[in-house]
Structure 1
Amino acid sequence: MEYVALGKTNLLVSRTAFGAESLDCKEIENFGKDADEKACAIVHQAYAGGMNFFDTSHSKPVCEKRLGAALHGIRHNVILATKTSGQDLHEIRRDLDESLMSLESDTLDLFQLENPLIVPKKNGMDGIYNELLSLKEKGIVKHIGIATENYDIAKEAIESGLYEVVQFPFSMISPDSVKALVKLCQEKEVGCIASQPLNGGVVNDIPLAFGFLHQFENVVPVWGTHTQEELQQILFFNDHPPVIDKSFKEEVQKVQNFFN
């Protein structure tokens, strides 16, 4: 497994990260009373494969609880991230307390605002950014970021210099404007997390998707796997990245032309 620095943070994360927001998917829920155990097995498989970065969200409480249970005993060896969609101080504080309880942890390595309506600023009237700084000073969260699907919000967050990490959808069928965000993250030394590397399941060619993203050295994709077999594929291509040659690029172009 390859590990990279996440922007200017001191976090050395696995370049192939685990998206835990899929731990309540239908493939896992189909195991019925054994769903929790199956989710735990997938997390442990990811950890055994070298993944040390696990990303989830308070908007998926079942996933947070399953991830917390699965990381019991190995929490100190992993980098843990979650998000809040709270739009005011009360909601953010409530979400954080509930997330810490679900994840069975006293601290978060990365805490992100999820789909905020605006980019909170230092000394802003809403008090949100100053609260995030206070949480860092208290050691409750180590680093802060923004996760968004809004291009303008992502760009503003990157350029603001206030957020250490920005997470946004990025896959091989993303427009060139998103590639520009990736480059901007690199220039500003902002950690770049790619959500939806398979574009929400629209892309089903894992080798192509993996190889495309692997070209961007500052990008950390979070792979939301539904089965152990799917996770095994991702771990395989992590160890054996596709060769980026003329043929590979032609195949990527075919997919891009089809969707765009």
Structure 2
Amino acid sequence: MEYVALGKSNLLVSRTAFGAMSLDCPEINSCGAEAEEKACAIVHQAYSGGMNFFDTSRSKPECEQRLGAALHGIRHNVILATKTAAQSVQELRSDLQESLQALNTDFIDLYQLENPSVLAQKDGRDGIYNELCSLRDRGVIRHFGIASENLDLAEEAIKSGLYETVQFPFNMISSENTLSLVKMCDENDIGCIAMQPLNGGIVSNVPLALGFLHQYENVVPVWGVHTQEELHQILYFNDHPPVIDEEFKSEVEKIRCFFN
């Protein structure tokens, strides 16, 4: 497993990250009373495979809880990220306390504003940005960024210089505008976290998808995992990435043209 610095933060994360927002998926919940045990087994498999970056959200409380239980005893060895959709300081504080309790931790390594309608600004009227700074100063969170599917807002966050990371959908069928956003992150030393590396399941070729993302050294894809078999495949092709040759590029281009 390779590890890279996440932008200008001092977080050294695995280039293949674990998306824990799938820990309540039907494949896991079908295990019934053993669902939590199954979720724990998947998280431990990821950790044993070298993944040290785990991302979740307050919008998925069961996933936070299952991830927190699974990380018991190894929390100090991982980078833990979660998100809040809070629209006020009061909501942010409430969300953070609930996340800390669910994840069974005293601090969050990376706290992200999730799909905000407007970008929180320094000394803004809502007070959210200043509250994030205060929480960072107190050590409750170590770093903060945004997670958004709005291209304009993501670009605004990068240009503002106020955020350390941007999480945005990025995969092999993404538009040229998204490719420009990835480049902008690199140029501004902003951590670039790729959500939806399989575009919500539209892309099924894991080695091709992973190989495409590996071309961008500043990008850390977050893989939502549903089964141990799926995780095994992701870890295998992370350790044995496809050769980026003309044949590979041709296959990627065929898929891009089909969807675009």
Same fold? TM cut 0.5: yes
Report the Cα distance in structure 2 between the residues aligned to 1:87 and 1:150, rounded to whole angstroms.
17
Aligned match of 1:241: 241
Aligned match of 1:91: 91
2:167 aligned with 1:167, yes or no?
A: yes
**What does the per-residue CA deviation read over 1:101-137, in whole Å, with 9 as the maximum and x for residues that have no partner?**
0000000000000000111111111101000000000
Q: Provide TM-score, normalisation by structure 1.
A: 0.99
Report the Cα distance in structure 2 between the residues aligned to 1:181 and 1:91, rounded to whole angstroms.
30
**What does the per-residue CA deviation read over 1:112-165, in whole Å, with 9 as the maximum and x for residues that have no partner?**
000001111111111010000000000000000000000011000011000000
Report the Cα distance in structure 1 between the residues aligned to 2:109 and 2:57, rounded to whole angstroms.
13
Aligned match of 1:138: 138
Percent of aligned pairs sharing the same letter: 70
Report the Cα distance in structure 2 between the residues aligned to 1:254 and 1:179, rounded to whole angstroms.
17
C-alpha displacement at 1:88, in angstroms? 1.1
Report the Cα distance in structure 1 between the residues aligned to 2:92 and 2:127, rounded to whole angstroms.
11
Q: Provide TM-score, normalisation by structure 2.
A: 0.99
Q: Which runs of 4+ in 1 moved over 6 A?
A: none
**What does the per-residue CA deviation read over 1:227-248, in whole Å, with 9 as the maximum and x for residues that have no partner?**
0000000000111111000000
Unaligned 5+ residue runs, structure 1?
Answer: none
2:56 aligned with 1:79, yes or no?
A: no
**What does the per-residue CA deviation read over 1:15-38, in whole Å, with 9 as the maximum and x for residues that have no partner?**
000000000000001101100000
1:92 maps to a residue whose letter is L
Aligned match of 1:199: 199
C-alpha displacement at 1:207, in angstroms? 0.6
Aligned match of 1:231: 231
C-alpha displacement at 1:87, in angstroms? 1.1
C-alpha displacement at 1:12, in angstroms? 0.3
Aligned match of 1:154: 154
Aligned match of 1:123: 123
Report the Cα distance in structure 2 between the residues aligned to 1:258 and 1:199, rounded to whole angstroms.
14
Report the Cα distance in structure 1 between the residues aligned to 2:237 and 2:3, rounded to whole angstroms.
15
Report the Cα distance in structure 2 between the residues aligned to 1:198 and 1:149, rounded to whole angstroms.
15
Aligned residues: 260
